[in-house]
Amino acid sequence: MVLITLVSSDEQNFPVERELLKQSGTIETLIVNMNLDDEDTDAAAMPIPLPNVKGDVLEKVIQWMEHHKGDPVKEGDNEDNNAEIVVPQWDDDFFKPAMYGSKHLELTVAASYLDIKNLLTLSCKAISNTFKGKTGPQIREEWGVPNEFTPEEEEAIRKENEWSE
């Protein structure tokens, strides 16, 4: 089994099975560019730095990739299947403890940076699921978004949306 070492922004090393890394478009490109698949290359001696991903987030990403090893990649931007995307129970349990906090958002940012399509899709779907049945102010409070509206603006936009309530 070939192991490739990923190095997080806080310089933690994570030896990861080569096969798992096929889920990440970004890492796959780096592996190709660094010739890490060549027989002559000592992949173990050439760690891949990931300066945009912290160690605790990278650990979660690897945990997710281990669980989803071998899964086919589902494209999230297919308009026809957006409604059909269901967050599986394992993923729901995986996301839930960090939901509404910066950890889940950091995981989403990492999925985007590392180009892990399935993780990005499920993570975004899990976030969108939290909006269901909530009002704007409730979403704002749950996700800690600062309120930039004046009371007048807030009232105006509430009236704009009144028809849909």
Partner 1 sequence: MTINIIRLPKNAFLNILKFSDIQSQLRLRQVSKSVQEFVDFSVLQLKKSIVKSFVCEEIFIAIKSPVQNAEIEAIQQILHSNHKKWRIEADTETGAMDIKVGMYAVKTKEDLGRNKRMITIKKIQH
Instruction: By CB under 8 A, name the binding residues for partner 1.
Output: 54, 76-77, 79-80, 82, 85, 102, 105-106, 108-109, 111-113, 120-121, 123-125, 127-129, 131-132, 134-137, 139-140, 143-149, 153-154, 157-164
Whose Cβ is closer to partner 1: residue 15's or residue 25's? 25
Residue closer to partner 1 (CB basis): 22 or 140: 140
**Which residue lies nearer to partner 1 by CB, 6 or 110?**
110
With CA atoms as reference, report the closest residue to 41 among 9, 69, 18. 18
Which one-letter DSSP state was computed for residue 54?
-
Q: How many CA atoms lie within 13 A of 14 on its CB side?
A: 27
| 26 and 113 Cβ atoms separated by less than 8 Å | yes
Tell me how far apart the alpha carbons of residues 101 and 143 are, in angstroms, rounded to a whole number.
7
Report in angstroms how near the CB of residue 112 gets to partner 1 at its nearest. Answer: 4
Q: Which amino acid is at 61?
A: V
Nearest-approach distance from CB 153 to partner 1, in angstroms: 8
In this structure, what token pair is assigned to residue 146?
């600062």
Q: What is the smallest separation between the CB atom of 39 and partner 1, expressed in angstroms? A: 36
Cβ neighbours, 10 Å, residue 6: 23
Cβ 17 to partner 1 shortest distance, Å: 26
